[in-house]
Amino acid sequence: MRLPTRLAIAALLLSAPGSAAAAGTLDIYVVDVEGGKAMLFVSAEGESVLVDSGSPGGRDVARILEVFEVAGVQRLDYLLSTHYHVDHIGGLLELSERVPIAHYVDHGPSVEEREQVPDFQQRYAAVREKARHTVVAPGDRIPVAGLDWLVVASAGRFLREPVGGSARPNPACAGAEPRENDRDPENGQSVGSLVRFGRFSAIDLGDLLWNGELELMCPENPVGSVDLLLVTHHGLAASNAPPFVHGVRPRVALMQNGSHKGGAPEVFETLRASPGLEDVWIAHWSHAGLLEHNPAGVFIANLSAPEATAAAIAAPPPATGERRPRPGPEALAHSPAHYLKVSAREDGSFTVANSRNGFMRSYPARSVD
């Protein structure tokens, strides 16, 4: 049997129920930016939000623009930067030259003296002058047509007024302890969002660290449960505290990892232990996760070269404290880059689709108690 071509897969994704071609959906495209972050939201009203812009150098911007073309986006209504690390804002300046951007959203100035992108703050300020700019705080809403976009974390502060107005004790907080080495200042500033479309909800906390997740979720859960968890911090064990993951009780977890970044075994274990979790989808096959933790291939958007994957599986376990050597670029190369797409309806039902192989899974709306 012949494998479907990339064009055939794209046509399948666009024509399928819940796709951009079907009216009335919120579509979320998770772009392959090799362990960085870039996610495009397109509301049922046609407004667009890009959350983060990948790394510099042109590769990630080209991949973002390819997804814009698939989604029919010619201008951005909002570009939300969760924080100022290079894998999250590295493509912003170039993207601003390629696509009209109406509104920039962030947590305010960087708290790190050494910028990961040289002179970024100064150059970003010049770009913002040509558009609107908003510094958000917890409790703010970003007025995206057709969506309820609530900021739940920003600049090291967290939502205190519960969604719906009533406090919810979080039993997953029992025994949870903060970490002493949880000190990356800019990750801790990450803008976190709860995005709701009718009965569908998704949560994204950028690269917020373990202690920040505890501050948001303990002892009470202010955000309730969600359908889709956009896994924090590429699936690194420095984040994804069980009180957060288990507290929001996602049906589906989607991880924007790289082949050698994120996808930590501990995080896979935390996700799969979460009550009610149905599936884990990932951007890359994780060399850290190996066969024991990676999901089945249909749920993985991008694969390493077969010889690199085979070598990783066959290699003996590293000694305690030893790290496996990273393969060279030729072993990690893959082309084209594939994205994952979520399409949600107001009734709470949604689909997730893999542009690599055309695999799609539907998740019916939760029953109403």
Asked if residues 74 and 99 have their Cβ atoms less than 8 Å apart, the reply is yes
pLDDT at 317 over 90: no
Instruction: For 60-72, give the DSSP string.
Output: HHHHHHHHHHHHT
Give the model's confidence band at 181: pLDDT under 50 very low, under 70 low, under 90 confident, else very high.
confident
Structure tokens at 202: 């998704």
Mean pLDDT, rounded, for 22-39: 92
Any idea of the CA torsion for 269, 273, 256, 320, to the nearest 10 degrees?
A: -10
Instruction: Tell me the pLDDT of the chain averaged across its residues.
Output: 90
Give the model's confidence band at 167: pLDDT under 50 very low, under 70 low, under 90 confident, else very high.
confident
Percentage, residues of the chain above pLDDT 70: 85
Q: Name the 3-class secondary structure at 84.
A: coil
Query: pLDDT tens for residues 40-84?
Result: 999 999 999 999 999 999 999 999 999 999 999 999 999 999 999
- CB burial readout 139-154, b (16+ within 10 A) else e: ebebebebbebbbbbb
Helix 6-15 crosses helix 59-71 at what angle (to 10 degrees)? 50
Q: Name the 3-class secondary structure at 97.
A: helix
Mean pLDDT, rounded, for 130-154: 98
Structure tokens at 287: 């060399």
Q: How many Å apart are CA 17 and CA 30, to the nearest integer?
A: 18
Q: How many Å apart are CA 216 and CA 109, to the nearest integer?
A: 22
Structure tokens at 276: 């009610």
Mean pLDDT, rounded, for 6-32: 65
Q: How many Å apart are CA 10 and CA 336, to the nearest integer?
A: 13
Query: pLDDT tens for residues 102-114?
Result: 999 999 999 998 9
Q: How many Å apart are CA 260 and CA 328, to the nearest integer?
A: 11
| Domains annotated on the chain, with CATH | 104-176+184-347 (3.60.15)
Q: How many Å apart are CA 49 and CA 348, to the nearest integer?
A: 20
Sorted by sequence, the CB contacts under 8 Å of residue 328 that are 6+ apart come out as: none
8-22, 114-128, 207-221, range with the lowest pLDDT: 8-22
Sorted by sequence, the CB contacts under 8 Å of residue 243 that are 6+ apart come out as: 170, 172, 173, 176, 213, 214, 217, 218
> Whole-model pTM?
0.90
Give the model's confidence band at 7: pLDDT under 50 very low, under 70 low, under 90 confident, else very high.
very low
91-105, 148-162, 294-308, range with the lowest pLDDT: 294-308
**pLDDT of res. 18:** 40
Q: What DSSP element (H or E) covers 197?
A: strand 192-197
pLDDT at 311 over 50: yes
Instruction: For 2-40, give the DSSP string.
Output: PPPPHHHHHHHHHHSTTSTTSTT-EEEEE---TTS--EE
Question: Sign of the C-alpha dihedral, residues 239, 87, 134, 101?
Answer: negative
Q: How many Å apart are CA 83 and CA 142, to the nearest integer?
A: 17
Q: Name the 3-class secondary structure at 264.
A: coil
- CA nearest to 248, candidates 304, 204, 190, 188: 204
Structure tokens at 137: 């705080």
Structure tokens at 37: 């972050």
Q: Which residue type sits at 199?
A: R
Q: Name the 3-class secondary structure at 286.
A: coil
